[in-house]
């Protein structure tokens, strides 16, 4: 049954262009200015870090932070928006330079868990039942610094503490193999799903697949999504793109690997993703060269690319595809998919050409079988 898709992005997708080699190049947009463009661009939900909902979160008591979160909920309501999730931003605090949940310092581990509990409370104030854990610094620079087996246990302990604190919240683990750490303890979706089964409530621990993170791990994003879907644990996605095994680029969706993007859309649609309220999330960064007044184009174009690829996925001739698969004629299937994506032929012409190719294959196979039978009759 085809999926029904709604879209989200985080306010960090609209930024000032600073990178490790240069300062900001654009004037900032206020948070309210960012919120005002969501509906205009066709998005219904906001992805939050805890300090997006409560700026300077460490300055406030828990009671004060939740009061600020309630004000944010009113702003969302006024704009007809919802919060998709809240993620504790643990990687920027000085107390988490050695990891949050996996720090060698017990005081720093307590800070990370306490902040995560507060993030769960903020999510509930925003009427969201999802918390994303991007385990950015849950890894190591050198293997000898930490016991990897124990570190997985600490991540499980942290998840259990969050689950015990909030009976409503669902945890979505977002894996990434490296950056900012040299090596992450949960680098792929398989690691995330396996870890979910170790927690006290596996039904409330799932995953978020990000395109670029999967590519950085040497995986195909659609296969990572399919794996999580089979386990019924794909509860969100971060669609973007990535040009090879470089730094995390967060390119516009489909801009580097169009066929890979097509297969991500297809696997989501085929699985009925979205029917349980899941959002198609984007995590795409505006190029540093872009002018400030055109800082939203990457979001609009990524959403449009998804919808165009959705139309391509839904107009694949599945009967013809099945014939190619049955004949193990993957070359013909490959050519058909490429031409379908390129729009090289109209639907009727494309089917006719492909059916002709399929017929030729069947004819050759039939001739070969006849020759073998004749040879056997003649004692060959």
Q: Cβ(109)–Cβ(101) under 8 Å?
A: yes
- 52 annotated active-site: yes
Query: How would you classify the pairing of strands 130-134 and 45-49?
Result: unpaired
Parallel/antiparallel/unpaired status of strands 45-49 and 205-210: unpaired
CA torsion angle 151 152 158 161 (round to 10): -130
Helix axes 258-270, 221-230, angle to 10 degrees: 10
Q: How many beta carbons lie within 10 A of that of residue 98, not counting itself?
A: 17
Half-sphere exposure of 260 (CA within 13 A, CB side): 23
CA angle 169, 56, 294 (to 5 degrees): 90
Return d(Cα 147, Cα 164) in angstroms, integer: 26
Write down the catalytic residue from 15, 19, 32, 49. 49
Distance CA 15, CA 287 (A): 9
**Following DSSP, what letter does each residue of 112-144 receive, concatenated?**
HHHHHHHHHHHHHHTT--EEEEE-TTSEESSGG
Residue 235 neighbours by CB under 8 Å, 6+ apart: 130, 170, 172, 206, 207, 208, 278
**Two tokens at 198?**
């170790």
Given 19, 32, 50, 52, which residue is catalytic? 52
Through-space distance between the first and last CA atoms of the chain, rounded to whole angstroms: 52
Known active-site residue 231:
no
What tokens does 103 get? 């720090």
- Distance (Å, whole) CA 158 – CA 102: 9
Other C-beta atoms within 10 Å of 92: how many? 11
Catalytic residues, which ones? 49, 52
């Amino acid at each position: 049954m085809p999926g029904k898709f709604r879209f989200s992005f985080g306010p960090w997708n609209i930024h000032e262009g600073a990178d490790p080699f240069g300062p900001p190049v654009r004037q900032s947009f206020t948070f309210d200015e960012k919120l005002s463009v969501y509906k205009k661009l066709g998005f219904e939900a906001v992805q939050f870090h805890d300090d997006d909902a409560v700026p300077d979160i460490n300055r406030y008591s828990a009671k004060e932070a939740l009061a600020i979160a309630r004000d944010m909920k009113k702003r969302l309501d006024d704009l007809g928006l919802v919060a998709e999730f809240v993620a504790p931003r643990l990687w920027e605090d000085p107390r988490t330079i050695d990891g949050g949940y996996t720090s060698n310092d017990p005081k720093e581990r307590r800070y990370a868990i306490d902040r995560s509990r507060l993030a769960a409370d903020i999510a509930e104030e925003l009427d969201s039942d999802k918390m994303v854990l991007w385990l950015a610094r849950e890894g190591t620079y050198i293997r000898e610094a930490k016991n990897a087996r124990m570190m997985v246990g600490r991540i499980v302990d942290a998840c259990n503490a969050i689950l015990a604190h909030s009976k409503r919240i669902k945890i979505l683990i977002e894996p990434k193999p490296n950056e900012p750490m040299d090596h992450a303890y949960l680098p792929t979706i398989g690691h995330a799903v396996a870890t979910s089964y170790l927690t006290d409530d596996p039904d409330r621990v799932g995953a978020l697949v990000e395109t670029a993170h999967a590519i950085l791990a040497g995986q195909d994003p659609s296969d990572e999504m399919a794996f999580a879907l089979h386990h019924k644990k794909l509860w969100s996605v971060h669609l973007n793109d990535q040009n090879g095994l470089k730094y995390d680029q967060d390119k516009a969706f489909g801009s580097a690997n169009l066929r890979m993007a097509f297969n991500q859309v297809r696997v989501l649609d085929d699985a009925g993703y979205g029917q349980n309220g899941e959002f198609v999330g984007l995590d795409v960064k505006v190029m540093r060269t872009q002018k400030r007044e055109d800082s939203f184009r990457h979001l609009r174009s990524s959403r449009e690319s998804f919808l165009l690829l959705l139309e391509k996925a839904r107009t694949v001739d599945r009967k013809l595809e099945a014939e190619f698969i049955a004949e193990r004629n993957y070359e013909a299937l490959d050519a058909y998919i490429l031409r379908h994506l390129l729009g090289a032929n109209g639907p009727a012409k494309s089917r006719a050409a492909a059916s002709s190719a399929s017929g030729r294959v069947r004819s050759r196979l039939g001739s070969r079988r006849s020759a073998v039978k004749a040879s056997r009759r003649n004692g060959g």
